[in-house]
Amino acid sequence: MHLSSAGLMAQDAWRGLPQVFPQVRLDTHVVMPNHVHGILCLQPASPDSGMAPCSLGRVLGWWKSRTTALYAKKVHAAGWRRFRRRLWQRGFYDRVLRDREEHARAHAYILRNPTSWHVDPNNPERRA
């Protein structure tokens, strides 16, 4: 699957999360045309680091805000397709991966996800 310019922008912002949130460690991820899957590991901040506590909501909220702002600039500067109200859904789906087996299953699912894009109900070019 080829990433669009918007997909590349979203991926670059994702890869930049550890620079904004040093407690975040990135694992695997995939940017799909209509959603993103990823595994983030949140490390606790040490008391002497001076860093604010990091939550998944805060990290994903920043990422959504950042990508929305970057996308909106491209709407005006490069003619990207306009969006209504918001670019991203309001919440997010999360799951705690409790052991190596769960992690391995989630990792494999994320890597396989692009192979099912052709049957995704939200794909405008879907083949039945």
What are the domain boundaries of the chain?
5-119
Global confidence as pTM: 0.85
- State how far the alpha carbon of 117 is from the alpha carbons of 11, 30, 105, 106, 113, in Å: 17, 12, 19, 17, 7
Is the pLDDT at 119 greater than 80, yes or no? yes
Rama region for 50: left / alpha / beta (φ>0; ψ in -120 to 50; rest)? left
**5-119, CATH topology level:** Alpha-Beta Plaits (3.30.70)
Say how far apart CA 97 and CA 112 lie, in whole Å. Answer: 18
Give the model's pLDDT for residue 11. 94
Give the model's pLDDT for residue 104. 97
Select the more confidently predicted residue: 9 or 125.
9
Give the model's pLDDT for residue 128. 61
The band of 75, judged by pLDDT with boundaries at 50, 70 and 90, is: very high
pLDDT tens readout for residues 38-68: 999 998 877 777 777 789 999 999 999 999 9
